[in-house]
Amino acid sequence: MQQLTVLVVDDDRITTAILSSMLDKYADNVIVASNGEEGLSLFKKYQPEIVLTDINMPRMGGLEMVEEIRKLDEHVKIAIFTNFENRDILLQAIKFGVNQFFSKPFEAKVFAQVIQPLCDDALEKKRIRAELKRQQNILHAINEMAYNFLRQPDWQTALYKELFLIKQASETSAVFIYENDETHESAKRLFAITSVPKVRGKKYIHYKKHHLMRWKKKLQKGEFVNGCMKDYDRSKQRILQAFKIDSLLILPIFVNDYWWGFLGIGNSDRQELTDTDIEMLSTVSSIIGSAINNKQNLQSLEMSSAVFEHTMDGVLITNAENRIVHVNDSFVAITGYQPREAIGKNPKLLKSGTHDKYFYKQMWEQLNKNGYWQGEITNRKKNGEIYIEWLSINTICNDKGEIENFIGIFSDVTHQRQDAQNHAYLATHDPLTGLSNRLLLNDRLEHAINHANRFDKCIAVIFCDLDNFKPINDTYGHSVGDEILKGVAESFKDILRKEDTICRFGGDEFVILIEELKSFDYLENILEKIQNISRTSFVIEGHPLSVGMSIGAALYPNDGATPEELLKRADSAMYKAKKSGKKSIPHFQKDPVICDSKPYTV
């Protein structure tokens, strides 16, 4: 029996009885009303697919009722019966959208010719509505699946519920999933939901043994399999019989372009699913593949996150607007900023003010051009401490090439830079006194000679040797001797210019380089100040101690043209001073030299 409801409206009970009897073979539900007002009320309540009505009735006529019904439903099938002698009534009925006309008395043959097309049209309309509703339900279930399913950390936990909703929405008899083994030779059933209790189908299928190689080849290519029991050979029919279904749609599931398994959707109807069904349900298999991929990605992400959180390097992630969205523990340890203090802020909260606008302009130009930047940058911690970091920045883009995030990874290299500076300092300075060592002296002396030669200048090299230092060292110990050396070094710094070089040349030997010597008087003044140091007592550990000093000097260009010659002749002059009583200041001179037109002679 067709699932049709027909409303019959007439004030004549004999007519309604005859029509109800004649409609028995066409409709499963016949509703009777005695006037237009009652008919309109019943139409609103039951929403019949067909309305048969007389025209002339008390309280509300047939045409008036038809006019009101059309306001509610433009597509319901309506037929009126009357004698049709009034042409105006006929035209008005056509205007209101009446589909068919027939007259009293009712002849079976004529009635069948009128009612059958109405029934066919109504059934088709009902089928289309039902199909649209089913498709809407499927789409709604798919949307819900996409929203809920992909957000579950464990896709298998949510799978049963989501597939059950898909089965209900699609009005199918069975939904199941098989996962391939590593070799793709067989597949294992993961889930099965059927309308028949305890029916779950085969637990394992072997593509070759069960003669499913054609299915396998199509699925591997990303194609679907769709058919009915009659379309398949016996081996494939057994698959359908195991699930108690007569038609089957199989859709491949791909995970990151890898054929993972398949989704099966079966029905007890002997009709294969439509192209629209296939298109919609293919989305389901894609969502399942994405969820599995998300799970695998989540596992990788959890591993990456563990590395991210526990690495010794600081890590910060910003959005496209360069606002911090995440930091790790090392970021907190290095900068002193807690996550709540950093998230939502611009990374410039670390800015130290050391770098100018051009530095940052160059950084952003390279980031935008190459997608990365790497280099050394000086930043400021929360407590105000300046630190040096080695920073790498990378851009993260979406599929459209639009920047979504920036990831900065940095390490505090302040100590390494300080160590490097210390190593460089120790390579050129005396560790005890902080004065230049021989290496730095030779470099500066060579530079001073080149400069003096180019600009016709004079320079002086002064060699100083402490007298009586060894007895003090032996008597009071090396620590006292070290304090004497540091005291002499500080005294040198007090009487000399910053641009002059003071060198601890050996154990108790010092060399002083005076560049751009303007006059011999200036040199004599310096030498006198140096000699006064030897007259100063040093109180070390409560002991008043004084050391003498032997001093010798040599001048460029008169006494030598190379660093070796000048040092050798200043040393020679210093030894001459020791022999002559340790308080004289001999100057090595092989010929007279004139500085600023003043004669310099021994």
Tens digits of per-residue pLDDT, 5-41?
999 999 999 999 999 999 988 888 999 999 999 999 9
Task: Give the chain's mean pLDDT.
Answer: 85
pLDDT tens sequence across 398-412 = 777 888 889 888 988
Q: Residue 344: give its domain's CATH number.
A: 3.30.450.20
Report, as an integer, the average pLDDT of 307-317: 75
The C-alpha atoms of residue 291 and residue 304 are separated, in whole angstroms, by 19
Confidence of residue 591 (pLDDT cuts 50, 70, 90): very low
* pLDDT over threshold 60, residue 586: no
In this predicted structure, what is the pLDDT of residue 306? 57
Domain count across the chain: 4
Domain assignment present for residue 81? The answer is yes
8-state DSSP, 28: S
Report, as an integer, the average pLDDT of 530-546: 83
Which of 100-104, 152-156, 432-436 is modeled with the greatest confidence?
A: 432-436
* Whether residue 107 is found in the same domain as residue 34: yes
* pLDDT over threshold 60, residue 328: yes
**Whole-model pTM?**
0.42
The C-alpha atoms of residue 237 and residue 228 are separated, in whole angstroms, by 9
In this predicted structure, what is the pLDDT of residue 515? 92
DSSP 70-137: HHH-SSSEEEEES----HHHHHHHHHTT--EEE-SSPPHHHHHHHHHHHHHHHHHHHHHHHHHHHHHH
* pLDDT over threshold 70, residue 554: yes
Q: Residue 552: give its domain's CATH number.
A: 3.30.70.270
pLDDT tens sequence across 60-78 = 999 999 999 999 988 899 9
Query: 206 φ, ψ to 5°?
Result: -115, 115
Report, as an integer, the average pLDDT of 295-317: 63
Q: Which of 260, 279, 300 is the last residue of a domain?
A: 300
* Whether residue 329 is found in the same domain as residue 248: no
Confidence of residue 593 (pLDDT cuts 50, 70, 90): very low
Domain that holds residue 161: 152-300
Q: Which of 272, 300, 328 is the last residue of a domain?
A: 300
Which of 96-100, 179-183, 400-404, 470-474 is modeled with the greatest confidence?
A: 179-183
* Whether residue 166 is found in the same domain as residue 250: yes
The C-alpha atoms of residue 151 and residue 162 are separated, in whole angstroms, by 12
Q: Residue 290: give its domain's CATH number.
A: 3.30.450.40
Which of the two residues, 106 and 315, has the higher pLDDT score? Answer: 315
pLDDT tens sequence across 129-138 = 777 677 777 7
Alpha helices (H) in 150-181, listed in sequence order: 155-170
Alpha helices (H) in 319-408, listed in sequence order: 329-335, 339-342, 357-370
Report, as an integer, the average pLDDT of 148-162: 69
In this predicted structure, what is the pLDDT of residue 5? 92
* Whether residue 345 is found in the same domain as residue 453: no
Confidence of residue 1 (pLDDT cuts 50, 70, 90): very low
Could you tell me which residues come within 8 angstroms of residue 192 by beta carbon, excluding any fewer than 6 positions away? 174, 175, 176, 177, 199, 200, 201, 243
